[in-house]
Structure 1
Amino acid sequence: MRFLVDENAGVFVAHWLREKGYEVFSVYEQARGIDDDTIIQKAFDENWILITSDKDFGEKVYRDQYPHRGVILLRLENDRYTNKIHILQQVLEKYIEKLVDNFVVVTETKIRFATTQ
């Protein structure tokens, strides 16, 4: 599985995913400062699942109808990287087969899936 980790999701999340054996493109490390339109287009064109904390991607997918290969939107009250990793580990352990082509909103207490394509 391939993940494109947005800058706001953090470099530690990208490192952790790599340690788990996933292929990762880290915006922070590899393309710092690129705009959201470029990020979501790159994720689609190159078959990455986008991990982000930026709710603007919800607007891009639902209002602007951008295609995607999957988006994990982290809406966490505790934004520390350790919490992000803890929550993502739960998502990957329980729902990895449902991530492709779904828009997934993740909080500390729930995970909501929405098919957009």
Structure 2
Amino acid sequence: MTKLLLDENFPEPAARRLDASGLNVLAVRDACPGWVDEEVMALAVDEQRWIITFDRDYGDLVFKQSLPAPPAIVLLRESHYRPAEPADWVLSLLAQPDIYVGRFVVFTRDKVRVRAMLKAM
């Protein structure tokens, strides 16, 4: 089963919806509020969780700083949405999770781009 780590910027209504869907969800705002991105990334690696975020900094951590990567990072690139809508986006990606393992995923309503992460754990 895919385990998720929702970054602090992930909306609470969407987090509740993912949790209610039966997924293994851990929200940074509840488990470790205020942690810096490197700490969040280390937790995701340790627990083998996908990071779900609106924060572009995770790309720098993986591709520029070469930090060990979690199974997947999903960057949601939408600025206007209903509060629960990001849950729909994540659930659509999880319909075929195997194609995203080891990848940095950039999601928009129009397309999904993927890039291999060399240090995927």
The root-mean-square deviation of aligned C-alpha atoms, in Å, is 1.4
Please, what TM-score do these two structures have when normalized by structure 1?
0.90
Q: Spell out, residue by residue over 1:7-40, the C-alpha distance to the aligned partner (whole angstroms, 9 max, x if none).
A: 1012223222221111111101111111111000
> Partner residue of 1:66?
67
Contact 1:11 1:29 in 2 (8 A): no
| Structure 1: gaps (5+ residues) | none
1:3 aligns with 2:35: no
1:84 aligns with 2:79: no
| Structure 2: gaps (5+ residues) | none
Instruction: Report the alpha carbon displacement of residue 89 of structure 1 after superposing the two structures with TM.
Output: 2.5
2:77 to 57, 75, 78: 75
> Partner residue of 1:50?
51
SS of aligned partner of 2:9: helix
Rounded to whole Å, the distance in 1 between the matches of 2:15 and 2:32 is 13
Instruction: Report the alpha carbon displacement of residue 79 of structure 1 after superposing the two structures with TM.
Output: 4.2
- CA separation of 1:58 and 1:79: change in aligned 2, threshold 3 A: farther
Rounded to whole Å, the distance in 1 between the matches of 2:81 and 2:66 is 28
Please, what TM-score do these two structures have when normalized by structure 2?
0.87
Contact 2:54 2:77 in 1 (8 A): yes
SS of aligned partner of 1:51: strand
Moved beyond 4 Å, runs of 4+: none
Rounded to whole Å, the distance in 2 between the matches of 1:59 and 1:15 is 29
Identity %, equivalent residues: 28
Instruction: Report the alpha carbon displacement of residue 90 of structure 1 after superposing the two structures with TM.
Output: 2.0
Rounded to whole Å, the distance in 1 between the matches of 2:112 and 2:64 is 21
